[in-house]
Amino acid sequence: MNILIVKLSSLGDVVHAMPAVQDIRAALPDARIDWVVERGFAPLVARCEGVRRPIPCDLRRWRKAPLAHSTRHEWRDFRNDLHRERYDAVIDLQGLTKSALVAHMAQLAPGGRRYAMANRTEGSSYEAPTRWVADVAIPVEAQSHAVQRSRALCASALGYEVQGPPRFGLGAAGRGHDDTVVLVHGSSREDKCWPEPHWIALGRRLIGQGHRLGLPHGSDAECARSVRLAQALGARAEVWPRLSLDALTERMSHCAGAIGVDSGLSHIAVALGLPHVQIYNFDTAWRTGPLDAVRQRSVYAAPAPEVDAVWEAWRAVTIPG
């Protein structure tokens, strides 16, 4: 059975779809699963157990210059890549016009069907074309965690029951390889960030525990913040080089844990099974936060959680008993 997953972006959303792939593997061991994803996230999808072939696309970039010669050429190459297989099931886990377009382009095997969400879920984007393109539009719970929504949609489409807690298939975190705690301070949205004085106060407590600190970054602004934090925290805080997503995931997998804002890297920490605290300035942890209450917790307060609250959550996920 050939199955195509369509989940293009963003980074956190891609990570949240990975447990659905593991469910499919368990229920249908002979299934061959391909996944259409934005090119920047394709190396991460390639790490996901059970994905035979990530199919990268550049829809975000193509939309900026739709008539350019390079866009037309790259679009043709993407279409040819997509058409290498015919699929028994095409499952749109995104629910947007762009994902509906990709699902419509995919070729079906005889008897194949396209599946999509029939309705919006609270706090998530949804556009009607996803329902129009689908052969089967599947209702989903109006208030659903992002992970559980994808799991439920795939289970309903392919005829099995969701079993057990989510497994991401991204590889397990290393145990005891590194005493570094990753501070994920960057986000694509400034209003999700945590105040720098809070990071400094928290970092000093972690150093007092004997930890080193890793400061990743994905933009010039995040790099500048990493440098400022490292200067304030001293020699045990290291500004990491800007790494590819695959290399960054590998490096994080060997760390002692992570504390971060609601961002893609924090969701990778969850997928790796790291001890993790996720910081929320908005009451949305029910939709995207960690589901493992033993080794991972979310902390919410407005306008931002206090250092003591994050520290107590960290102690709860790292100190036995």
pLDDT tens digit sequence for 5-39: 999 999 999 999 999 999 999 999 999 999 999 99
Tell me the per-residue pLDDT of 273-288, one tens digit each, with 9 for 90 and over.
Answer: 999 999 999 999 999 9
Check: pTM over 0.85? Answer yes or no: yes
Report the alpha-carbon distance of residue 288 to residue 306 in Å, rounded.
Answer: 21
Tell me the per-residue pLDDT of 174-225, one tens digit each, with 9 for 90 and over.
Answer: 655 689 999 999 998 999 999 999 999 999 999 999 999 999 999 999 999 9
Taking the domains of the chain in order of start, what are their residue ranges?
A: 2-158, 180-318
Residue 171's pLDDT is: 84
Pick the CATH number of 180-318 from 1.10.150.170, 3.40.50.2000, 3.30.1240.10, 3.90.1150.10: 3.40.50.2000
Residue 63's pLDDT is: 86
User: With contact defined as beta carbons under 8 Å apart, do 19 and 49 qualify?
Assistant: no
pLDDT band at 321 (very low <50, low <70, confident <90, very high): low
Residues linked to residue 278 through DSSP beta bridges, in sequence order = 260, 298
Residue 69's pLDDT is: 86
Tell me the per-residue pLDDT of 105-162, one tens digit each, with 9 for 90 and over.
Answer: 999 999 999 999 999 999 899 999 999 999 999 999 999 999 999 999 999 999 999 9
Three-class SS state of 253 = helix
Mean pLDDT, to the nearest integer, of 227-246? 97
Scan for tokens 């095997």, then name that residue. Answer: 109
Report the alpha-carbon distance of residue 116 to residue 107 in Å, rounded.
Answer: 16
Backbone angles phi, psi at 100, to 5 degrees: -65, -40
Scan for tokens 């799991």, then name that residue. Answer: 151
Residue 176's pLDDT is: 52
Same fold yes or no, 2-158 and 180-318: yes
Report the alpha-carbon distance of residue 6 to residue 34 in Å, rounded.
Answer: 9
Report the alpha-carbon distance of residue 19 to residue 237 in Å, rounded.
Answer: 33
Backbone angles phi, psi at 138, to 5 degrees: -105, 120
* Fold (topology level) of 2-158: Rossmann fold (3.40.50)
> Residue 77 pLDDT > 90, yes or no?
yes
Q: Residues near 184 by Cβ (< 8 Å), separated by ≥ 6?
A: 216, 258, 259, 260, 261, 263, 265, 266, 269
Residues linked to residue 2 through DSSP beta bridges, in sequence order = 32
CB burial of 270-289 (b: ≥16 within 10 Å; e: otherwise) equals bbbbbbbbbbbbeeebebbb
pLDDT band at 67 (very low <50, low <70, confident <90, very high): confident
